[in-house]
Structure 1
């Protein structure tokens, strides 16, 4: 084994330097101000000043010690403790700062020696082996880029590229570019692709260019050496310029040369940033063009290496496409065997066939040149020709397919999807939505024979797009049965496609609409990411269905279908002397059964199996589902503050269920008047009984609108007085306003911070409330109306929310365009609804036994109880603070509004276990009952009439209170 160890004089210098760095941790205030080694510990520290101090104390050997300290690092695993790690971190950064600022001959010698050793003995040096799964000599079976402590190969090349091009520098640069050291890496497995040492370092473009330029200017880089360097360094030696029609889509990675590991984290040195290279030297660009021309002419030789070298190239001149096409012609490639047989050669050609831009004046010249190629070669190149594909179509005599190709690709390569993804699973609701006018026009223009041959030629290529092909078939009425089978497996692409099927019968649109609604419910069983993507796919499918059925939007389709469902409802039947009527009692559809003027509680067995009765039962179920859907729609409209123009509202009010629901909600007409809606006259009656005709628009009022109008309490009293039952919480909905502390905090709120939650319960609840929970870094709710994301942050988590048993709520923040926005800029309705979700999350998923409800929840409950006491004329009960006080005949009682816990005055606990949430025998002003509030009220009514309590366990507790 080959080891590179410090010579005795170097070891002496290194020991002195280590001692200095150890003392510096205590002597320099900026290094000793923290007890804990934080991630940003090194930020802002002037390492070069510390290096200068060292050199002042050691003027003779100090500079050499710093160069030695840079190239002879300590193995991280050999560091004994945190202090040792800090000392090494300081030493490396001080040395790095010095050798970067003072590129002297000794430092160059040492950097070149270290780099030469690492490259020559990449698989043999035992100084810094990485652990492996096997014992014995297999330690060297590793990636070279992972085999060294800092400075690694990249860091050394980076420093070398910035050194003055002295004779010693030039000699080493020649050795580095020539690549005689570039041996094949021993394979870890028998089927592993062979790689060489340099293959591990693809992102050294700027450094290699500076080194090549230095040699070129010294007259020591000719074309043969360029070829050897390109063979060694691959795409790092490719120098593209605009006039050659070539560019690269490689991402310039962060500078890794300044990184040094700190446990499992990376810190960054303050060493000067390396300068960006100027535009490629013309001679280097000419060498690159010549090399590419030779490489294309020499295919398929060395294709595997060339596939990596050219994998990032972009072409902007048609001459490269023509040269690649000449290779296709020479090798007699076909669409069927292009990738199947040629693999690496095809990977090279694909990059040069893919023309990124084609000015219109150049199209005629390209068309003429394409005339010299066979039809087979043109078919092979077509899927890869980029902007030239339209000219290839003309060359094939398929100009009639131009419009079809545009539509075909616009469907398959939809917004927010990557190249070749083909109707991906995505949150984008536009993916797969068809422009019927353009597609109809394209299909009408296409010659059927040409279209068939075109699709056949694309079949073996990345343009095959099987899901898009299924969509095109479905659009023409083909393959419905297979598509519906995929729907049963909840395939997301099938959801998007299902809407494009032609309408086949009168009830087809309604049945497909109901299928989509069922799918929306069914996919809730999946995880957050699949559920969100499925909902987006369903929305795209509904949009396609709306266009096929002639509706301007999916929401108009929804309203029309719900109206049809209501109009088609069978509401009465006469069976064997029994009259059965389907009525909406309150907000629940019920069957009223009567005979000879008498009402029956249940249907007699004689009629239960009758077809007409079964139809009414099914209609009852359907109406329940419709009301539930409409409630969700209307509540979402209230939560977002959405306004409806009257022309959009009128079709919605054609549905009896909507009229019933809307007339129990407080609305705001024309952004001013608050009141009850008369759906027949479109008038709004305010608190004073005055009627106002809605002229422009209407919205379902949010409690914030009532609050800002100064009418929240009055509307609560109005709801109770007239014993209205709202379809969801509106007047008594929890309202969350910014607190002074939140205004001071600016960008986030700690309102619910510190609450410990059951993670599985929290995850499920968030999914139901339409929050994304794909990972703990991305627990967010998207407000499309405002372009704002609300983010919940949790502590004590794994990667997924439910990965650990418990999590701790932390902060809540709001973002627009990936930037946190001040809480004061968050729309008040959005802020209130997000806080309401957070409150619900904490109250339902809390892990602590002593959890108490939020102030907003207790305030709404107190308001509700207060209005009920007054509205129902209840005596011997009052609400004060967070408690109900009841004066009974047996005792006096106190009920907590948050926990529903009962105490017999002055302090004895009374245990009453609720029997369940089945039947509600008392009035509440909203249908989506707050179960804890229902428990509080049930206990209140029980204790108000405590003389009629017969339960022995309850009586025993009351009687022994003394």
Structure 2
């Protein structure tokens, strides 16, 4: 078979056109800055104007050359060098611009000839080298849609669909729609699905519709030809009409017209920066076109009716043809029911025995709308069908399902069906959701009042038959069935096995089990909390979805146990844990006591007033000691959990009502934590809390009674009150250890540059980050990282999303070794909001996360610690110096200056690097185990801060340094 190649006169024209394009790259100033990596480059180039210059220079054969240049492509791999690639990229655009704007008979002839060749010789020819004999006759290196360089089949159809409807165009359109060329594709494997050539072109729906409408307007498309076209092009020939009660759920068919090219993909022949005009969206028909569309819609209805009557013949092809159809009139449901009745379909064999036929019928059974005034008429019609037919159709009946329940005598199941489907299909409607893995914490949360009411109304026998009818269908929803069983106390052992495998649906369902005894709620609460920690070993998306599932499980447990919310359940459970805790025991003469030392619960063992360092063997194995050890572990976890909870409350600025505060203070751990934190009561007074009296003591020692509410003060509150420095001093003076950074927490305020940029911050732009470290850190700090296009933190209190924008990322965040921080922005309702409108606490905390990300995950050696971090460290050291009465040491800027007896030193507050004045570097490697001996006013230790302090104390007493390596450096300095 001879491949299609240009004849001599076409070759001559193409040679001249290539020469013109080569000169044009130098002659046209706008082409001087040609850059394949600039995606919008061609937007500013008037290709039609340049093409017109070519035609002016070659008035006789210039237009033909442009048509030839379009239909005889060059394969990308055959382009010799960079210049050749640029030249061909320009040539193709000139050709496409001209034939699109100036369609003529010759261009139509040439595009038609290429399209006819590609369809007729889909398996015998290719623009690329054909496979060798070793590949075997049944294996082709390319399917028909991959065998041709651009313009391929779909691009040619796209251009033709917009050409004038001349007699020549109409003749070719008839041939294209009739499908005489539509042969079967050779199977790639012996058991593969049989497909035809046209099946490879699934993106040409709107173009085929335009061509069909043009033929109809010309009076050259009768019903037999429509049937042949529908059998060839399937869905593309379906003209649904609201008058006929038909529509389509094909909102976006991903038109092939977005013709971008990738240099690395050998199946595309044009440069990757080539931007060809996209397909027009389907226009609204007017005039003659509207009449043609109406007639085509009538053809579609007739075709559907005939094909439904002919089922199961050709059902495999029809399943794709009708894949997107939507029915809005009951007559389509009734026609589908007639097919089910005729074929003897039942719930058990509907899918398994009639696969493609069932797929067709599902589309017409799924009624999209049913006005109430039509329900009686439909009910009367349904009584003419057998029970098996109604049961087979019931799962797919859509808006008609309630009427079908009535026809079956199951009106008592209406409420149950509604609740069942609401649980299964949340948060999205449609087939096959079934408690999906999602970030939505409401999925799987049961409305107990409505479900109880629905179950009470349901006849048990009807319910059993209803669920049996759903079992073989897509609507069986096995996870929702497990939830329903669990709600009724069935299947707990199997559910707990799924929990052990961290199944997310099981986490959501676990809370709905009925309460079995007084300790059941607490044990399930603790298990869900344990699961929350265990899933941190997974990737970002699974971890986030699992945390949402745990939260849904806690919400279900709260409702089962009678609490108004998961938060109230948590407080109640933690109170119970604290109140029922064993805190002391006497074992064989040994007194064992659980005490809280600082923020850490420890076991003290003594005998005869003598404290022991380790527990004796006789004590270690005793049941009471084991219980105390377990309680110690629980208390540690409780302190950690509530430490995080209180820090979150501080970061959000949440205020606690007095009744909620009193409940929290029942827990010793919470009392301990809150009494080490600066609080604000009644939105006014700042001070230390006395849990026993519900009073706060301010800086002057005055006591104030809390009357309405209390919040944990954020540094912003201290700053705006003008008391930040005073509270820092008070913390250090009283040697308080706060459970997390509060008084010395980094505070981030808007900078003048951020006020100027308005909608985004460039504060950390340009920093290169280690991808794996950054991804893990973001996960831990509750940032969503499942989509690299949107790395966000959701502030539910304000309805605001904070977005980190990164450059150089892959498909997922840790795919590449490094990526670059770009901008930070805030959105509400999918719109960017000015930084000045972002709540100050949220802004500060987001910037703190960004600063932490850059400081921990930075990839460059020259990273400089942020101003806010250095400022907090300087404030802390200044307070410690004053409190301890240290001499010969002081802070200035980013440095700590120390006057030693051997030399003078300076320590950088960001990096902890030491220099001997005036500039010699002093290398001292810190001992990791020594940080704990230095007082810091917060429990979540700043290791770099501890390192600075350890070096400061060492150098203040430099006469007692004995390390020879350090002494040698000092002497040389």
TM-score (norm: length of structure 2): 0.94
2:276 paired residue number: 269
Kindly report which structure 2 residues correspond to 1:40-189, keeping only aligned pairs within 5 A, or say none. 40-129=40-129, 140=140, 142-189=142-189
Task: Determine the structure 2 residue equivalent to 1:885.
Answer: 897
What does 1:195-214 correspond to in 2, within 5 Å?
195-214=195-214
Do the aligned partners of 2:655 and 2:710 also contact (CA within 8 Å) in 1? yes
Distance 2:323 2:298 in 1: 20
In the alignment, which residue of structure 2 is the partner of 1:648? Answer: 660
Deviations, residues 458-507 of structure 1 (Å, cap 9, x unaligned)? 11101111111111111111111111111111111110110000000001
Distance 1:137 1:457, change over 3 A: closer
Q: Relative to structure 2, which stretch is displaced further, 894-903 or 592-601?
A: 592-601
In the alignment, which residue of structure 1 is the partner of 2:220?
220
What SS does the aligned partner of 2:601 have?
Answer: strand
Q: Determine the structure 2 residue equivalent to 1:302.
A: 314
Task: Show the 5 A alignment for 1:520-919.
Answer: 520-774=532-786, 776-917=788-929
CA distance in 1: counterparts of 2:410 and 2:806, whole angstroms: 58
**Counterparts of 2:375 and 2:484, CA distance in 1:** 29
**For residues 956 and 609 of structure 1, do their structure 2 counterparts lie closer, same or farther at Cα, with a shift above 3 Å needed?**
farther
Rounded Cα–Cα distance in structure 2 between residues aligned with 1:631 and 1:670: 22
Q: Which residue of 1 aligns with 2:942?
A: 930
Deviations 1:834-887 (A, max 9, x none): 222222223223344443422221111111000111122222322222222233
Equivalent position of 1:387 in the other structure:
399
1:461 aligns with 2:473: yes
Task: Give the C-alpha shift of residue 606 in structure 1.
Answer: 4.7
Residues 913 and 721 of structure 1: CA distance in aligned 2, closer, same or farther (over 3 Å): same
Aligned to 1:9: 9
Q: 1:778, 1:791 within 8 Å by CA — same for their partners in 2?
A: yes
Change (3 A) 1:606 1:214: closer
CA distance in 2, matches of 1:534, 1:885: 49
Q: Name the CA shift for 1:260/1:602 in 2 (closer, same or farther; >3 Å).
A: closer
Contact 2:365/2:397, CA 8 A, preserved across alignment: yes
> In structure 2, the residue corresponding to 1:684 is in which secondary structure?
strand
Give the whole-Å Cα distance in 1 for the aligned partners of 2:278 and 2:860: 50
Deviations 1:681-718 (A, max 9, x none): 43333333343343433221211222222222121112
Distance 1:211 1:690, change over 3 A: same
TM-score (norm 1): 0.95
Residue 600 of structure 1, CA deviation: 4.4
Give the deviation of 1:517 after TM superposition.
0.8
Select between 721-730 and 901-910 the one with higher mean Cα deviation: 901-910
1:558–1:857 distance in 2 versus 1, CA, 3 Å: same
SS in 2 for 1:757: strand
Q: 1:427 aligns with which of 417, 439, 446?
A: 439
CA contact (8 A) 2:555 2:565 kept: yes
What residue is the counterpart of 2:268 in the other structure? none
Could you say what secondary structure the match of 1:268 adopts? coil
Contact between 1:156 and 1:257, CA under 8 Å: does it hold in 2?
A: no
> How far did residue 618 of structure 1 move?
2.0
Q: Which deviations, in whole Å up to 9, do the C-alpha atoms of 1:104-161 show, x marking residues without a partner?
A: 2222222222222221122222334577996587785532222222222222222222
Which whole-Å CA distance do the structure 1 matches of 2:904 and 2:294 have between them? Answer: 97
Q: 1:456 to 1:232 in 2, by over 3 A?
A: same
Secondary structure at the residue paired with 1:772? Answer: coil
Per the alignment, residue 244 of structure 1 pairs with 244
CA–CA distance in structure 1, aligned partners of residues 916 and 102 of structure 2: 84
Residues 129 and 147, structure 1, Cα contact 8 Å, conserved in 2: no
User: Is this contact kept in 1: 2:258–2:279, CA < 8 A?
Assistant: no
* Secondary structure in structure 1 of the residue aligned to 2:353: helix
1:146-197 CA-to-partner distances (Å, cap 9, x unmatched) read 2222222222222222222222222112111111111111222222211111
What displacement does 1:443 show? Answer: 0.8
Q: Distance in 1 between matches of 2:494 and 2:536?
A: 24
User: Does the CA contact (< 8 Å) of 1:814 and 1:823 recur in 2?
Assistant: yes
For 1:686 and 1:209, locate their aligned partners in 2 and report how far apart those are by CA, in whole Å: 77
- Contact 2:931-2:947 at 8 Å conserved across structures: no
- Shift of the 204–237 alpha-carbon distance from structure 1 to 2, 3 Å rule, reads same
SS in 1 for 2:927: coil
CA deviations 1:389-429 (Å, max 9, x no partner) are: 11111111111111111111111111147521211111111
- Aligned 8 A contact 1:316 1:358 in 2: yes
Secondary structure at 2:475 match in 1: coil
Paired with 2:243 and 2:651, the residues of 1 have a C-alpha distance of 57
Q: 1:608 to 1:258 in 2, by over 3 A?
A: closer
SS at match of 2:797: coil
Q: CA RMSD in A?
A: 2.4
Segments of structure 1 that go 5 or more residues without pairing to the other structure are: none
**Cα gap change, 1:538 to 1:125, in 2 (>3 Å):** same
1: distance between equivalents of 2:280 and 2:220?
28
2:269 aligns with none
Deviation at 1:729, TM superposition (A): 0.2
Check whether the contact 1:307–1:348 (CA below 8 A) recurs between aligned residues: yes
Instruction: Show the counterpart of 1:361.
Output: 373
Counterparts of 2:165 and 2:369, CA distance in 1? 40
Residues 903 and 916 in structure 2, CA contact (< 8 A), matched pair in contact too: yes
Comparing 267-276 with 820-829, greater Cα deviation is found at: 267-276
Matches within 5 A, 1:500-539: 500-539=512-551
1: CA distance, partners of 2:875 / 2:771: 32
Distance (Å, rounded) in 2 between the aligned partners of 1:396 and 1:553: 40
Of the structure 1 ranges 198-207 and 863-872, higher mean CA displacement relative to structure 2 is found in 198-207
* Alpha-carbon contact 1:752-1:842 (below 8 Å) kept: yes
Q: What secondary structure is seen at the aligned counterpart in 1 of 2:552?
A: helix
- For residues 35 and 399 of structure 1, do their structure 2 counterparts lie closer, same or farther at Cα, with a shift above 3 Å needed? closer
Does the 8 Å contact 1:433/1:541 carry over to 2?
yes
Contact 1:356 1:387 in 2 (8 A): yes
Equivalent residue for 2:460, pick from 432, 442, 448: 448
Instruction: Note the alpha carbon deviations across 1:281-311, whole angstroms, 9 max, x for none.
Output: 2211111111100000000011111111101
1:332 aligns with 2:344: yes
Q: CA deviation at 1:741?
A: 2.9
Q: Give, in whole Å, the separation in 2 of the partners of 1:65 and 1:616.
A: 91
Question: Partners of 2:593 and 2:734 in 1: how far apart?
Answer: 27
Q: Secondary structure at the match of 2:474?
A: coil
Cα distance in 2 for partners of 1:716, 1:507 equals 44
